[in-house]
Amino acid sequence: MATRDNFFASGTPKEEQIRGTPIGDRVYEALLSQMISLKIAPGSRISIDALVREFGVSATPIRAALIRLEASGLVVKTHNVGYSAAPMPTRERFEQIFDMRLLLEPYMAARAAERLSSKQREELSKLASHMAKPASDDEKLAYGKFALQDADFHSWIAAQSGSELAAEALARLHAHTHLFRLRFHTLVTEGAVLEHAEIVEALSAGAAEGAREAMASHIMKSRARMAPYLETLA
């Protein structure tokens, strides 16, 4: 992980400069890359003091970053204990996640295809194009960012379905951030980008059945890509 001299080259941040600032974002991105690449092991305690020393910043942006990571399912906060990395789901849990996604997401994609406005189609195209571009020169950081962009892509489609209950159920799975922790490899992102393009094409055309089939195919291919790594889980 980068040190204060090369990662936070701009100097010591002011206390009030936390969210929405380069320092706050860089602290978050640094922690994200450590968690996605498993440098911070699943289930391990996270010491704010240790991170303060590592990054050379105050505890305030560290805590802000941990709150953001907690919202994405990567961090767990326990009363009187503090923060820890979320445990890796079991193999059975991952299988259930894929089963649930296959039930929900093709349905939501089909619904979204019938409801999208011209403005929403443009928004969808931008979401997909951002994912197709490298997010960073740092491979681990880029992989972590892609994991969150992937989650945003699927969440956006779910939101356009008009089914709040289904969208909320998908969000609670935190499926994408956990899935990307299972296997750190660029092939995961390359496959997803191609499959997302097929989903976007069907959605943009307003083809409900095409969107349903493209989404189901994407989820099944993702499951197949991850199958060898699921075997290593308890």
The string of DSSP codes covering 79-109 is: TTTEEEEPPPPPHHHHHHHHHHHHHHHHHHH
- 145 in the same domain as 39: no
pLDDT value for 223: 93
**pLDDT one-digit tens code per residue, 122-155:** 999 888 888 776 566 677 777 878 888 888 899 9
CATH number of the domain at 139, please.
1.20.120.530
pLDDT (tens, 9 = 90+) of the chain, 234 residues, equals 444 434 454 444 443 344 445 788 889 988 988 888 888 999 999 999 999 999 999 999 999 999 999 988 899 999 988 999 999 999 999 999 999 999 999 999 999 999 999 999 999 988 888 877 656 667 777 787 888 888 889 999 999 999 999 999 998 888 877 888 887 666 678 888 899 999 999 999 999 999 999 999 999 999 998 888 888 887
- 23 in the same domain as 106: no
Residue 130 domain boundaries:
91-230
Q: Which of 85, 119, 152 is the last residue of a domain?
A: 85
- 78 in the same domain as 45: yes
- 162 in the same domain as 47: no
The Cα–Cα gap between 108 and 110 comes to 5
- 114 in the same domain as 54: no
The Cα–Cα gap between 28 and 34 comes to 10
pLDDT value for 185: 64
Number of domains in the chain: 2
pLDDT value for 202: 97
pTM of the model: 0.81
Q: Which of 85, 104, 131 is the last residue of a domain?
A: 85
| Coil, helix or strand at residue 77 | strand
The Cα–Cα gap between 232 and 134 comes to 29
- 110 in the same domain as 17: no
pLDDT value for 136: 63
CATH number of the domain at 17, please.
1.10.10.10
pLDDT value for 19: 43
Q: Which of 85, 107, 139 is the last residue of a domain?
A: 85
The Cα–Cα gap between 62 and 109 comes to 37
